[in-house]
Amino acid sequence: MVRIIPPTPSGLAEAARLLLAGIPVALPTETVYGLAAPALDEQACGQVFLLKGRPLTDPLIVHIAEPGDALALAEWNPLAERLAARFWPGPLTLVLPKKNIVPDAITAGRPSVALRCPAHPVFREVLRLAGQPLAAPSANPFMRLSPTCAAHVVEGLGPQGLVAVVDGGPCSVGVESTIVDVRDASRAVILRQGGVSREEIEAAAGVPVTVFQREIADLSEAADAPGLFARHYSPRTPLVLFSGEPPVSEHPQRPLAVIRWRSADARTDRTGVSNFAWTETGSPSEGARNLYHLLHQLDGQGFGLILAETPPGDGLGAALRDRLRRAAAQG
Ligand code: TXA
Ligand code: MG
């Protein structure tokens, strides 16, 4: 049984105690729930890899309470400073050359470390109480949908032996942080699109910004962006994306779930077809909050197939398209 810890002062103190005893605890962040362990405790981080079923070659993000805590862990530079000043605390992760204090097990042997200062008050308070950085990948089994509420965490990691989750309610952003490689201060490379849009990074970086495009299917190829497997974040139910009208007759699987971008476009008059929508309003931030939530919900309902409309637009819309393309990728 997973213990569900309320986000009260005594609950957070208990979470910090468990963490300091080397026991991983799932915590809410503004993006998705993370499975936390003290970042400098290799053994506790080993438990995180084990619980998630994550390959040891896929490094963990290290979370810090204050932006200034980055200086002890990584070689800082002016580009990192500009982006941190603009987006921390928040859904941005910076990849920088690591200092020796960061164990190789956390970075999967790489000379770089991924750092994030999260905005969620619960995560920040636990960081403060623990008094040290916390490594935290998303709190889902490897390759499955990320969790955006405590129930998702319990469902995914409960059977794997998770001890406790702090219930901070639903995540306000709903997709993972944007990961930017800033090792070279003369250019920024977006390794994973997420809660901070490319346009926002461009406005703050003051140097050229590119998006890492290579779709990586094989772990051994994953030199710079170890987590960018083509298939990732997947529901169990097969997922097919569409633009325009849903190609309902091309897909005989029933019952069929159709997800439109806006609820106003959802039709209700076809037999064997259930209709859903990513948003009421069409706003990308609403779509982000609902993305994993809706996929988790539909995944448990026995649909033969989910047909999902591709989210439009720039900014967060691009991050949503990226997630859905990975979720829909086969094998
Ligand atoms: O929003 C988030 O970032 C959430 C919350 C919990 O903070 N965390 C998260 O962690 O999404 P995870 O482990 O699911 O994804 C982190 C990604 C992985 O794809 C990993 O390969 C990549 O970050 N990563 C970690 N360290 C890296 C490094 N040194 N260089 C390049 N990529 C790195
Ligand atoms: Mg993840």
Q: How far is the CA of 59 from the centre of ligand 1 (A)?
A: 7
Residues paired with residue 202 on neighbouring β-strands, in sequence order:
none
- Counting ligands in written order, the one closest to the CA of 91 is 1
Query: What distance in Å separates the CA atoms of residue 264 and residue 260, rounded to the nearest whole number?
Result: 9
Q: In this structure, which residue's CA is closest to atom 17 in ligand 1?
A: 227
**CA 128: distance to chain centroid?**
22
Q: How close are the terminal C-alpha atoms of the chain, in Å? A: 32
Ligand 1 in contact with 148 (CB < 6 A)? no
Q: What is the pLDDT of residues 172-204, one digit of tens each?
A: 999 999 999 999 999 999 999 999 999 999 999
Q: What is the pLDDT of residue 1?
A: 93
Q: How far is the CA of 327 from the centre of ligand 2 (A)?
A: 12
Ligand 1 in contact with 92 (CB < 6 A)? no
Q: What is the pLDDT of residues 219-276, one digit of tens each?
A: 444 556 666 655 667 899 999 999 999 999 999 999 999 999 999 998 777 889 999 9
Q: Would you put residue 6 in left (φ > 0), alpha (ψ -120 to 50) or beta?
A: beta
Percent of the chain whose predicted confidence (pLDDT) is above 70? 94
Query: What distance in Å separates the CA atoms of residue 215 and residue 311, rounded to the nearest whole number?
Result: 20
| Average pLDDT estimate for 3-27 | 98
Average pLDDT, rounded, for the chain: 94
Q: Which amino acid belongs to residue 182?
A: V
Query: What distance in Å separates the CA atoms of residue 99 and residue 74, rounded to the nearest whole number?
Result: 5
- Please tell me the pTM assigned to this model: 0.95
Q: What is the pLDDT of residue 153?
A: 98
Q: How far is the CA of 67 from the centre of ligand 2 (A)?
A: 22
- Counting ligands in written order, the one closest to the CA of 32 is 1
pLDDT band at 218 (very low <50, low <70, confident <90, very high): very low
- Counting ligands in written order, the one closest to the CA of 114 is 1
Q: In this structure, which residue's CA is closest to atom 15 in ligand 1?
A: 137
| Average pLDDT estimate for 285-291 | 97
Q: What is the pLDDT of residues 76-126, one digit of tens each?
A: 999 999 999 999 999 999 999 999 999 999 999 999 999 999 999 999 999
Q: What is the pLDDT of residue 224?
A: 63
